[in-house]
Amino acid sequence: MSENPKVTVTVNGVAHTRTVEPRLLLSDFLRGEIGLTGTHVGCEQGVCGACTILLDGRSARACLTFAVQADGAEIETIEGQGSIQQLGRIQQAFRDHHALQCGFCTPGFVMVITDILRHHDVETDAEIREALSGNLCRCTGYEHIVNAVRELVRERGKLPS
Amino acid sequence: MKPAAFDYVRADSVAHAVQALAAAGDEAKIIAGGQSLLPMMNFRLVKPSVLVDINHIAGLAEVRERGGRLVLGALVRHRITASDPLIRRHIPVLSAAMKHVAHLTVRNRGTFCGSICHADPAAEMPMLALLLNAEIHIASPRGERGVPAADFFVGSLATALVHDELVTEIEIDTLPAGTGWGFEEFARRHGDYALAAVAVTLQRRNGVAVDVRIAVMGVGEMAIRLHAVERVLEGSDLADARLDQAVALLRSEIEPNSDLNASADFRRHLAGGLARRALSDAWGRAKEQIAP
Tell me the per-residue pLDDT of A52-106, one tens digit each, with 9 for 90 and over.
999 999 999 999 999 999 999 999 999 999 999 999 999 999 999 999 999 999 9
Per-residue pLDDT at B193 = 82
Taking CA atoms, B76 is separated from B32, B79, B91, B110, in Å, by: 10, 8, 16, 8
**Would you call A49 an interface residue with chain B, using a CB distance cutoff of 8 Å?**
yes
| Same-domain check for residues B36 and B114 | no
Contact B109 A22 (CB under 8 A): no
What are B255-286's pLDDT values in tens digits? 999 999 999 999 999 999 999 999 999 999 99
Supply the CATH classification number for the domain A6-80: 3.10.20.30
Q: pLDDT band for B67, please (50, 70, 90 cuts).
A: very high
Mutation target vs B (from A27, A44, A64; most B CBs, 10 A cutoff): A64
* Least confident among A79-88, B59-68, B185-194: B185-194
Q: Is the pLDDT score of B118 beyond 90?
A: yes
What are B156-181's pLDDT values in tens digits? 999 999 999 999 999 999 999 999 99
Enter the pTM of the model.
0.96
Nearest to B108 among A58, A63, A130 (CB): A58
Tally the domains of chain B: 3
Q: Are A63 and A27 in contact (CB under 8 A)?
A: yes
Non-local CB neighbours of A48 within 8 Å, separated by 6+ positions: A42, A105, A108, A135, A136
Nearest to B191 among A2, A65, A133 (CB): A133
DSSP B131-161: HTT-EEEEEETTEEEEEEHHHHEEETTEES-
For the segment B235-254, the average pLDDT, to the nearest whole number, is 97
Where in chain A do CATH 1.10.150.120 domains reside?
Answer: 89-156
ipTM of this model?
0.96
* Residue B1: inside a domain: no
Q: Is the pLDDT score of A2 beyond 90?
A: no
| Same-domain check for residues B216 and B283 | yes
Please count the other Cβ atoms lying within 10 Å of the Cβ belonging to residue A156. 14
| Same-domain check for residues B67 and B168 | yes
Scanning every residue of chain A, which has its alpha carbon at the shortest distance from the alpha carbon of B56? Answer: A69
Residue A6, SS3? Answer: strand
| Same-domain check for residues B12 and B67 | no
Q: How far is A28 from chain B (nearest CA, A)?
A: 10
| Same-domain check for residues B14 and B72 | no
What are B19-61's pLDDT values in tens digits? 999 999 999 999 999 999 999 999 999 999 999 999 999 999 9
Contact A52 B105 (CB under 8 A): yes
| Same-domain check for residues B203 and B253 | yes
* Residue B2: inside a domain: no
Fold of A89-156: DNA polymerase; domain 1 (1.10.150)
Q: What are residue B22's phi and psi, to 5 degrees?
A: -65, -40
Q: pLDDT band for B248, please (50, 70, 90 cuts).
A: very high
Contact A120 B104 (CB under 8 A): yes
Q: How far is B2 from chain A (nearest CA, A)?
A: 8
Q: How far is B8 from chain A (nearest CA, A)?
A: 6
Structural domain range at position B236: 180-289
**Would you call A54 an interface residue with chain B, using a CB distance cutoff of 8 Å?**
no
Q: Is the pLDDT score of B292 beyond 90?
A: no
Contact B103 A69 (CB under 8 A): no
Where in chain A do CATH 3.10.20.30 domains reside?
Answer: 6-80
| Same-domain check for residues B67 and B113 | yes
